[in-house]
Structure 1
Amino acid sequence: MTEQDERPRFDPTERVELLLRDLRTSRHGLSSREAERRLVHYGPNEITRRGGRRWPKELAFQFTHPLALLLWVAAGLAWLAGIVPVAIAIVIVIVVNALFAFVQETQAERAVEALAAYLPVRAKAVRDGRVQTVEATTLVPGDVVVIGEGDRICADARLVEGGLEVDLSTLTGESMPAYRSADLLDTRVSLLQARDLVFSGTTCTEGEARAVVFATGMHTEIGRIAALSERVERAESPLESQVRRVAWLIAIIAVALGVAFIPVAMVFAGLSLGDAVVFAVGLLVGNVPEGLLPVITLALALGVRGLVHAGAVVKRLSAVETLGSTSVICTDKTGTLTENHMRVTTVWTNAGAVRMQDGVDSAPASSRQVADRLAAAMSACNNAELGDAGAHVGDPTEIALLEAASALGCQVDPDERRRRRVRQFHFDPVLKLMSTVDERDGGIWVDVKGAPEALLPHCATMAEDGGTSRPLSEGLRHELGERVDSYARAGLRVLAVAERRLRPDEPVPLRREDAERDLELLGLVAMQDPPRPQVADAVAQCHTAGVRIIVVTGDHGLTATAIASQVGITGEHPTVVNGDELERMHEPDLDVLLRNEKELVFARSSPEAKLRIADALRAEGHVVAMTGDGVNDAPALRRADIGVAMGRAGTDVAKEAATMVLTDDNFATIVTAVRAGRQVYDNIRKFIVYIFAHSTPEITPFLVFALSGGSIPLPLTVLQLLAFDVGTETLPALALGREPAEPGLMNRPPRRRSEGVIRPGMLVRAWLFLGVISSVLSMAGFFYVLLSAGWHPGDPTGPGAPLHHVYQQATTMTFLGMIAGQVGTAFAARTDRASLRSVGVFSNPLLLWGIGFELALAALLIYTPPFQDLLGTAALTPDMIAFVLPFPFIVWGADEIRRWLVRRRAAAKQSR
């Protein structure tokens, strides 16, 4: 480990004098020369990334996938046997599949680079005894930086002078700014909770201070998250792992068949080694569904495109399917379930409650006298500014108060407010009060706002309509306390507002103790970060679909519980686990908690806690979706089966770490994505049945050739087989991936993680039912042509033989018969049990277009001389075409009867 990699060996929460001593600096900062020396020692203040380029490895994987390896073997065998055109054709198939899959799956892993955006380009540091603007990357431990309102903090630092309000939401998930002051000393708390520390990547929303830097670059809290995110590897999706297992299964079967039948062809059928190799290549190619991977990739890509219009951008194709199998959604609160915008819901005065509906005052003007005074005080005791089109500046709470004051008809012009302000006493988190002294209505007023329990002791009276007031008796104070509690139980944040008019002979108070006394209470303001209107319905759909929702947030437990209850995630009394409790909890205890408690809220959760929760749920066999929008969510977003980031309110870090970004920040879009994922998975199974049903008719010609000892000529050439596999199969398979969702899709529970994409019943249906029927029909067409021309077993059919043209027509008949069976299989595969009539013959126009293309391509391959020379096809006569016409109806009709029997058997079983 190099010296730069070592974390500092001092405690940033120790007394300032000791910290300055350990950092070998002073309140006057460093000299430029000393800063340059330390820069060499500590390295630049930037987020770095381990490792190098990954795309060569990802591209190489596409060429070494089990199915690709099998095709490489087939190409090699064809080359050794001298069948060069076949070898080249197989290699082209490999390259096209690999490049297509690589382009579709490649995604830039920029999570760590995005973290760098949270470091400002410039910073103000005290160098050589004066404030200088320097590059943020040149800051070193020991530097003293100057932080002002609107500045993004560029290193972890300890305040040595002044106080700040800091937006820590990117690190802690808290929607409310936190107060940090050099006068506050916290020594037995975590770093993020220490009230005299500020951190890289956070933003100063109010105040001014100086701070000494104690950590830079990867040693900062944001750097620690970057390193954690870098170490978290993306897990393979359920579909990816299942397709991999299927690919190996197919490879083993294909190789086993090829190896087993080579001696059979040579010994029992008397074929030469060359003919046996041709036979083996045919078996390999016939057993490998070359279209499986590109068709799955295309189906997922189309699903991704559809989700973009629904408000979700999916960065990894398999994430669509993963959402469909999601059994648990771990959701953040702020900005995910809620709108991330504080709103005043009720303004309460002694004259009654003024309810705010969408920012519009719904109270009658007759009960507005005290409310108007309260609005004036809210506007004066405020530092936020309302901008055009929602471009507001300042603390979210103060913005909400200004919006309410404006709705109540009060003037909120910031220039006018500054002109009238005489003095300000900043918000003190210990006192929980803020006050200003302002000119208004021909006098000087003290305007105060703060927590009710903090402000009420400073109040002597309570305002009433008509300009009168009443003393704050103990009984009235008790009533006010109960009202505050009722708002709090509803998940609302409550502020009290008071004022006092200075006597004409009274001087402007210089101390807040002199200002904040003998106040007159104007009323209470209840506000909330409201839940999104679509969330409740989305949550109900999740419950119907068997998807469990767990709230995992950095916010306070009471607030998170209230929101979770409002949107229907939990009842009124869920199990709430705070971050400290979770940190002390052992892994078995966490497993039991997640298994037994159905209504859970994890509050004050750290990045490590979110990782633990995701890992524990996945260990229980759940497919986990994790939502988030902050920097602190990045590691958990990467660990979860699918990370879901908010596109509007989310940080760039969260967007880069996630696999899906909600462009509308709407939790309801997740439900749309879950539905789309289930639909895509169902459709993947449909076209797997469709593709696998063709393996039997593809292998049958080579088995007939081998088992007849060569007396029956090969009914299908290898190049015709490749044309069938790659040319005519893909579009109908892709169209099956666009089948509409079947009824009841969201009324069934999520499938298990261990459930394979291919079930035994699917293989029986594909190989032994649909495949056998298609094989019999295609071979019937082959023998129909040969026997009609007077062919007998053993007659020569090679080039120059009298029956050579008839043989070419016969192989073409096999080719066309397989395509006709393919059409029937496409219609049969559209449903698993339901009849085709129930879903509509013409309800999937893409399938009709795909079949039309398939038939047009077949005509091109059969009737054009260039393809006749390449594939060995020949033009068919009208009677041959007529012989093939019933094939699709026979295949579909047989499966329709099978599905009717299945439905009948299921109904009989249910009636019993």
Structure 2
Amino acid sequence: MAHPHHVRTAERNGESMAVDPRESAGRLLRDLRTRVEGLTEREARRRLEVHGPNELPRHRARQWPAALLRQFTHPLALLLWVAAALAWIAGTRELAWAIVAVIVLNAVLAFWQEEQAEQAVESLGEYLPQHCRVRRDGHARSVLVTELVPGDVLLLDEGDRVPADARLLSGAVEIDASALTGESSPVERAADLPDTALRRLDSAVLVFSGTVCTGGAAEAVVHATGRHTELGRIAALSVRVRIAESPLERQVRRVAWLIAAVAVAVAVAFLPLGVLAGLSWAQAFLFAIGLIVANVPEGLLPTITLALAAGVRGMARRGALVKRLSAVETLGSTTVICTDKTGTLTRNVMRVVEARDGAGEKTSPGFKFATALASCATADERTSSGDPMELALLDFARSSGVSVDAETRDQERVRLFRFDPHFKRMTTVDPSPSGFVAHVKGAPEEVLARCTSTLPARGGTQPLTGAARAALAGVVDDMADRGLRVLAVAKRDFTALPDDRGTAESELCLLGLVGLIDPPRPEVAEAVSACHSAGIRVHVVTGDNGRTAAAIARQVGIGADNVVDGPALDAMPEAELDGLLTSEQEIVFCRAAPESKLRIADALHHCGHVVAMTGDGVNDAPALRRADLGVAMGASGTDVAREAATIVLTDDNFATIVGGIEEGRRVYANVRKFIVYIFAHLTPEVLPFLLFALSGGVIPLPLTVLQILAIDLGTETLPALALGRERPEPGAMRQPPRERKQSVVTRRMLLRAWGIMGSVSAILALAAFFAVLIGGGWRPDTDIAADPGLHHVYLQATTATFLAIVFCQLGTAFASRTDHAALREIGLGTNRLLLAGCAFELLFAAAIVYLPPLQVVFGTAPPPSWVFAGMVLFPVLVWGADEFYRYRVRAGA
């Protein structure tokens, strides 16, 4: 079909014009100056320089002005705006400007930290570069997707994501084009279909970047890459939506609103009470400002964001690539893992260890048996590409004297019926001297059901009787009980080409059985034990034989208390499945169709479990999306599975999932640790203002608003960030998973923060204040404002309060390092970042107290030297009080 407005490719001075991809394949190849054999490596490198890398235009995930504006409007910032307005109304303009400066500083800091977090997530793509298969110099090879150029001959297979816009040259594929068209049903694309579509997107011979090959295989020539693709044009016009807040961030935001509401309510309530108690309106406003500022944990939100981003980086180092910050916290609450067997629990390095003939007797494979193994395959032993099981079968066939060149085999093959998870078998139709021969391999129960005869090692073909069928089933069970993966191999000769798969796979002759072993990964048993200690159950969902899967499961410590095969699962009512999954059993779901994973994930989710589901195939994508955490295999998985998953394992290792759970628990625990640390300082900051208000101004204000800001933004921030890097607490993986609805802030945390560490800190701070003030000659009936001699004493006293809170912060920092365990169990100096943060805290406080310019700003004066003799004990007293409380909790547990 001719199409208007098509143009030929013309490359001049490094520039190129688009071709018409809907013209005939021969003309397109000519216009692209390429051949069916593909480009040469030299030409591909040249075109890469001309056209640039095959990648989409990069857009920032969010627009920075809006993101920065949000930092000025979150609840804690709004609370500070109220305080600044009150300060302005009260006539203390300097304080108002200082609070505004704090809002700006905090907003810029939070924005910068969120940018760092986003970059941490975006950079994860570099850990897992995407590859595609092309033909260059006449040979198939794998190249980076970014190195694909116009004119490359692309080799597409089931599960591949189409890496560029291309025109089919041969073969047929089913394509999920929903990324471009919004239509969920797959569409057929074939090189020999007529192209009568009105739109290019509907063309029967074109495939587009970003779509997914859900079935079939084809060759295609690339005609557009990068920003010149249909997806690239859409990306250039679109703006990506902002990444949603994680559940943890939403919880903290709700807590922030609660803090804001309480602070405003208390300030409004105490404003008239302060006036009635004898304060002037100016003093009452000052009190309200101080109360609001003291209640604002300014560094809370950015600290949480940075902690989650650090968790993502930590998991990347373990081999788990997290695509969303929220997954870090979700990992910590996982209650059930549904795992594949092959490659996840095992090494995915198969080898044949046993062969049986058609009668079930141990033997070396004959010529026909070995030929069937070599022919019924798509793997290439020369390049070690393909399914590990097929590579093992090819190696076994070669050792038996039959070696087949993969390229010749594939070219001569007449029909290929790929492995289907529903049929659990694969068939090829190959030429033979008498016509054609169908070679079949697959699950023994599926292949044996289609066999009518057998071929023993000695003798001719024999009919498959009921007794022989039962004996063979016993042999299969015995091999599976020993942890072997068993495959049946059969054949059938044809004089004419079989019409369909059903014909090709009927009236077969059983050639024999092969037993392969894929040994468990050595680290998996320890990981499973850690799951059990952590209260996490592990189910196995596999397409393999139940006996084999159960044997491997038991070898690594998974209970395998119940083995449910695919048909039984499909027939099981919902209530029965729910009851099975909520029992204490660990279950092996065998011969399960990919859809079974989705049903299992739905049932577990309905029962209130937090589910991590592994998968690697195209059909696993729905289950990976449905699970709380979809875990895809990075080394062996398909692009579709990796796209659907939340987490990608670069090593396909079950132990990495468990490491990720430990990391998730660590991050969530650390968030709660620095929340305790930050909240512990609210009490000593609020109590001085309450004392000032309730005394009607008789007791001078023990702490100024600017000194509070110095604590919250200066001395407090770095230790809080350091607590976000704390190592896992001893016993973290021996605790049951946290409940899904558990709040990030609990009553016990508030008791520790406000009731224990906060109260002790407040008492010690006020003790330091009164010790300096009374030691300098102040009495309750003394008016400091009327006595110039006491002004310096008052500055020393407020400075003593400030320093006392700083010294108490050291104690709360070390006490907050653990939730239950004693400090000695984790070591005093194991968190070097915290030690550095505490050192900075002391230096910053010293600068405020001793540097004259800062003395003017913060209203400080060096207190008497004897004050420091008592303050060195403050950290120990605060830590000791919390340590005693945790000891009592452990003793009562």
TM-score (norm 2): 0.71
Counterpart amino acid of residue 727 in structure 2: P
In structure 2, distance between residues paired with 1:517 and 1:735: 67
* Counterpart residue number, 2:97: 85
Instruction: Please say if 1:571 is aligned against 2:564.
Output: no
Question: Could you tell which deviates more after superposition, 840-849 or 632-641?
Answer: 632-641
In structure 1, distance between residues paired with 2:242 and 2:547: 33
* Counterpart residue number, 1:306: 314
* Counterpart residue number, 1:664: 651
In structure 2, distance between residues paired with 1:437 and 1:383: 16
In structure 2, distance between residues paired with 1:516 and 1:825: 73
- Whether contact under 8 Å (1:311, 1:664) holds in the other structure is yes
Q: Please, which of 206, 212, 235 is the counterpart of residue 201 of structure 1?
A: 212
* Counterpart residue number, 2:281: 272
Shift of 1:458: 7.9
* Counterpart residue number, 1:873: 860
- Whether contact under 8 Å (2:335, 2:611) holds in the other structure is yes
Instruction: Please say if 1:743 is aligned against 2:730.
Output: yes
Instruction: Please say if 1:253 is aligned against 2:262.
Output: yes
In structure 2, distance between residues paired with 1:649 and 1:655: 10
Write out aligned runs for 1:433-472 (5 A): 434=428, 436=430, 449-451=439-441, 453=447, 462-464=456-458
* Counterpart residue number, 2:114: 102
Q: Please, which of 719, 732, 735 is the counterpart of residue 732 of structure 1?
A: 719
Instruction: Go from structure 1 to structure 2 and tell me whether the alpha carbon gap of 1:659 and 1:232 turns closer, same or farther (over 3 Å shift).
Output: farther
Counterpart amino acid of residue 483 in structure 1: V
Write out aligned runs for 1:258-657 (5 A): 258-273=267-282, 275-331=283-339, 336-337=344-345, 344-349=352-357, 370=365, 374-375=369-370, 378-379=373-374, 384-388=379-383, 390=384, 392=385, 398-406=390-398, 411-414=403-406, 426-427=415-416, 434=428, 436=430, 449-451=439-441, 453=447, 462-464=456-458, 479-480=471-472, 482-484=474-476, 486-487=478-479, 492-496=485-489, 523-527=512-516, 534-550=523-539, 555=543, 565=553, 568=558, 570-574=560-564, 576=566, 594-595=581-582, 598=585, 599=587, 601=589, 603-606=592-595, 614=601, 617-630=604-617, 632-634=619-621, 637-638=624-625, 640-657=627-644
In structure 1, distance between residues paired with 2:630 and 2:869: 55
Q: CA RMSD in A?
A: 5.7
Instruction: Go from structure 1 to structure 2 and tell me whether the alpha carbon gap of 1:234 and 1:636 turns closer, same or farther (over 3 Å shift).
Output: farther
Shift of 1:330: 4.1
- Whether contact under 8 Å (2:173, 2:216) holds in the other structure is yes
User: Which string of whole-angstrom CA distances, capped at 9 and with x for unpartnered residues, describes residues 283-320 of structure 1?
Assistant: 11111112222332333333333222211123333422
- Whether contact under 8 Å (1:487, 1:494) holds in the other structure is no
- Whether contact under 8 Å (2:616, 2:633) holds in the other structure is yes
SS at match of 1:803: helix
Shift of 1:818: 0.5
Counterpart amino acid of residue 869 in structure 1: V
User: Which string of whole-angstrom CA distances, capped at 9 and with x for unpartnered residues, describes residues 250-277 of structure 1?
Assistant: 122111111111112223232233x322
Counterpart amino acid of residue 317 in structure 2: H
Q: Please, which of 673, 685, 688 is the counterpart of residue 686 of structure 1?
A: 673
- Whether contact under 8 Å (1:381, 1:447) holds in the other structure is no
Counterpart amino acid of residue 85 in structure 1: W
Q: Any unmatched runs of 5+ in structure 2?
A: 8-20, 23-55, 125-129, 136-152, 164-168, 180-187, 192-206, 221-238
Identical-residue share of aligned pairs (%): 48
SS at match of 1:739: coil
In structure 1, distance between residues paired with 2:515 and 2:696: 90
How many residues are treated as equivalent by the alignment?
770
In structure 1, distance between residues paired with 2:473 and 2:241: 48
Question: Could you tell which deviates more after superposition, 889-898 or 286-295?
Answer: 889-898
User: Which string of whole-angstrom CA distances, capped at 9 and with x for unpartnered residues, describes residues 711-762 of structure 1?
Assistant: 3332212111111011111222233333333333222321211222222222
User: Which string of whole-angstrom CA distances, capped at 9 and with x for unpartnered residues, describes residues 337-365 of structure 1?
Assistant: 566676545333489988xxxxxxxxxxx
SS at match of 1:524: strand
Q: Please, which of 70, 74, 79 is the counterpart of residue 79 of structure 2?
A: 70
Counterpart amino acid of residue 665 in structure 1: D
User: Which string of whole-angstrom CA distances, capped at 9 and with x for unpartnered residues, describes residues 421-470 of structure 1?
Assistant: 9975545689975465689xxxx999874247579968675334xxx879
SS at match of 1:768: helix
SS at match of 2:788: coil
- Whether contact under 8 Å (1:232, 1:639) holds in the other structure is no
* Counterpart residue number, 2:747: 760
SS at match of 2:660: helix
* Counterpart residue number, 2:690: 703
- Whether contact under 8 Å (2:632, 2:649) holds in the other structure is yes
In structure 2, distance between residues paired with 1:865 and 1:153: 65
- Whether contact under 8 Å (2:550, 2:588) holds in the other structure is no
Shift of 1:481: 5.2
Counterpart amino acid of residue 485 in structure 2: L
User: Which string of whole-angstrom CA distances, capped at 9 and with x for unpartnered residues, describes residues 144-197 of structure 1?
Assistant: xx9998697989xxxxx99979999x99xxxxxxx9999xxxxxxxxxxxxxxx
Instruction: Go from structure 1 to structure 2 and tell me whether the alpha carbon gap of 1:71 and 1:665 turns closer, same or farther (over 3 Å shift).
Output: farther
In structure 1, distance between residues paired with 2:76 and 2:405: 69
In structure 2, distance between residues paired with 1:716 and 1:535: 56
Counterpart amino acid of residue 268 in structure 2: V
In structure 1, distance between residues paired with 2:451 and 2:597: 41
In structure 2, distance between residues paired with 1:478 and 1:790: 104
Q: Any unmatched runs of 5+ in structure 1?
A: 1-29, 41-47, 112-116, 123-145, 156-160, 172-178, 183-197, 210-229, 355-366, 501-507, 908-912
- Whether contact under 8 Å (1:861, 1:868) holds in the other structure is yes
In structure 2, distance between residues paired with 1:652 and 1:148: 15
Counterpart amino acid of residue 64 in structure 1: T
In structure 2, distance between residues paired with 1:205 and 1:347: 31
Q: Please, which of 787, 799, 812 is the counterpart of residue 825 of structure 1?
A: 812
In structure 2, distance between residues paired with 1:778 and 1:406: 82
- Whether contact under 8 Å (2:68, 2:107) holds in the other structure is no
Instruction: Go from structure 1 to structure 2 and tell me whether the alpha carbon gap of 1:705 and 1:600 turns closer, same or farther (over 3 Å shift).
Output: same
- Whether contact under 8 Å (2:157, 2:213) holds in the other structure is no
Instruction: Go from structure 1 to structure 2 and tell me whether the alpha carbon gap of 1:471 and 1:301 turns closer, same or farther (over 3 Å shift).
Output: closer
* Counterpart residue number, 1:239: 248
SS at match of 1:496: strand
SS at match of 1:687: helix
Shift of 1:99: 0.5
In structure 1, distance between residues paired with 2:857 and 2:665: 42
SS at match of 2:293: helix
Shift of 1:68: 2.9
User: Which string of whole-angstrom CA distances, capped at 9 and with x for unpartnered residues, describes residues 572-630 of structure 1?
Assistant: 42375789658xx77x7876665469537493344xx8677656544543333343445
